[in-house]
A = this chain, B = another copy of it.
Amino acid sequence: MSRYEKIGALLNQDRPGYTLPQQLYVGQEAFEFDTQVLLKSVWLYACTVAHVKQPGDFHLFEMGNNSIIIVRGRDGEVRAFHNSCRHRGARICATQSGSAARLMCPYHMWTYGLDGRLLAARDMPEGFDKGEFGLIPVAVENIGGLIFLCLSDNPPPIDRVKADIAGQIAIYDLEHCKVAVQEELVEDANWKLVMENNRECYHCDGNHPELLACLGSEGFGKGLPEDGATETARIDAERAEWKRLGIYHDLIEFPEGWWHRVARLPLANGAVSQTMDGKVASRKLLGPFTEPNTSSLSVWTQPNSWHHFCCDHIVTFSLTPLAPAKTLLRTSWLVHEDAVEGVDYDPANLTAVWRATNRQDSDLCAINHQGIAGDGYRQGPYSIEEKLVDYFKRFYTGNARKALDSEPA
């Protein structure tokens, strides 16, 4: 019998088209299952190649009790290691990001190469073999510049995700972007509620005035506006333009057994970027673009990320659980590496839409968590605008069952 027996019983209470049972959202046992089992059995989005732009640049990714070092090697490859010295276990990198010629533990100065090999350890007993004490590696995949990790020794397939995403985002050329702003928000809600919140716009009308100024009525989960015919005509025209530019692809929406959605979607009100005024936030356009007439390409992955590629900037979100009711949301705004702050872009303007939206969502997720924690909570029905929430829920329950089945008895 698995130590997560209770999780199995809760999964059996799942109802099609309804939210999960209370304890899967708020329970300590579910948090332990999620962070120790489920989220180690799947790929997680961590950051972009722009976060570790130069050899020696590192970026930390946290999940539950884990801290992972993502580091660019001298050979340009991006690798990942557990942030724990093989001597007495101290964290080697103590800041969220930085740059170092070697990875040196600040405690007793054990020193590792950027490839994880132990290079130096003073005064060790005879017979000590440095070859046995390299950093513990973590599986990593670079998908067109998006870095995914898997904490399992036996990661699941990722090939179709790679094929579907890498091709479409290649044009944005992440290797020549830089992180203009990175922001962390710790939300007082279970990570699954933060995900559910992201997967629908049923809540947008009442809560997100800034986002609605630019967010289109199609594909983000909002219903069509009253004047449907005019809107449809506008969207068709936009889509024709993308085809002319050679950047049109059919919608990819969580194909059977996979965990990604990719869509170029029209923005609203003539916006060409996700900004307050709908204009570009950075004057240096990305990739080959010379005109901003490309709307935005959006990528969603289960179980922890979403990304919007505009002609002038990219916004990318990763989230990870820290505690049953604490979730870390890290948002990064990327611009062209040649864009100059204060000249080509204003960070406040660049971040305004999503900074406001993140805070609004954080408040909503907190009251969602609190309300679910009470005895009056009942599993509730999703609306027809919450199809993608249901997709996420099914990804969760499906992978949870699979992970439970492969747990040692």
The answer, among B17, B19, B125, for a CB contact under 8 Å with A88, is B19
A66-B376, A374-B67, A376-B81 known; A108-B367 Cβ under 8 A: no
In contact, A371 and B89 (Cβ under 8 angstroms): yes
A 116-137 to B, binary, CB cutoff 8 A, 1 in contact else 0 = 0000011111001000010110
Q: Give A109 Cβ to nearest chain B Cβ, in Å.
A: 5
- Say if the beta carbon of A404 comes within 8 Å of chain B: no
A65-B375, A372-B89, A375-B151 known; A381-B125 Cβ under 8 A: yes
Q: Given the complex of chains A and B, what is the CA–CA distance between A23 and B197 in angstroms?
A: 35
In contact, A384 and B106 (Cβ under 8 angstroms): no
In contact, B371 and A85 (Cβ under 8 angstroms): yes
Q: In the complex, identify which listed stretch (A141-149, A200-208, A266-274) lies at the interface while the others stay far away.
A: A200-208
Chain B residues, Cβ within 8 Å of A136: 376, 378
Q: In the complex, identify which listed stretch (A70-78, A90-98, A226-234) lies at the interface while the others stay far away.
A: A90-98
Q: Given the complex of chains A and B, what is the CA–CA distance between A205 and B106 in angstroms?
A: 11
Q: Given the complex of chains A and B, what is the CA–CA distance between A380 and B91 in angstroms?
A: 13
Q: Give A357 Cβ to nearest chain B Cβ, in Å.
A: 15
Query: Which of A88, A206, A364 has the most CB atoms of chain B within a 10 A radius of its CB?
Result: A88
Q: Given the complex of chains A and B, what is the CA–CA distance between A253 and B206 in angstroms?
A: 53
Chain A residues within 8 Å of chain B by Cβ, number: 63
Chain B residues, Cβ within 8 Å of A40: 375
In contact, A374 and B66 (Cβ under 8 angstroms): yes
In contact, A84 and B384 (Cβ under 8 angstroms): no
In contact, B371 and A84 (Cβ under 8 angstroms): yes
Q: Given the complex of chains A and B, what is the CA–CA distance between A25 and B88 in angstroms?
A: 11
Q: Given the complex of chains A and B, what is the CA–CA distance between A138 and B375 in angstroms?
A: 11
Q: Given the complex of chains A and B, what is the CA–CA distance between A22 and B138 in angstroms?
A: 19
Q: Give A121 Cβ to nearest chain B Cβ, in Å.
A: 7
- Say if the beta carbon of A99 comes within 8 Å of chain B: no
In contact, A196 and B375 (Cβ under 8 angstroms): no
The answer, among B68, B108, B207, B385, for a CB contact under 8 Å with A202, is B108
A 39-72 to B, binary, CB cutoff 8 A, 1 in contact else 0 = 0100000000000000000000000011110000
In contact, B86 and A121 (Cβ under 8 angstroms): no
In contact, A371 and B124 (Cβ under 8 angstroms): no
Q: List 23 A-B pairs, Cβ < 8 Å.
A: A65-B375, A66-B374, A66-B376, A67-B371, A67-B374, A82-B376, A83-B374, A83-B376, A88-B380, A91-B367, A91-B370, A106-B367, A107-B207, A108-B203, A108-B206, A108-B383, A122-B383, A123-B223, A123-B383, A124-B383, A136-B376, A138-B376, A151-B375
Taking beta carbons and an 8 Å cutoff, which residues of A are in contact with B?
Answer: 17, 19, 22, 25-26, 40, 65-68, 81-92, 94, 106-109, 121-125, 128, 133, 135-136, 138, 151, 196, 202-203, 205-207, 223, 364, 367-368, 370-378, 380-385
The 5 closest A-B pairs by CB, nearest first: A82-B376, A89-B372, A91-B371, A84-B371, A84-B376
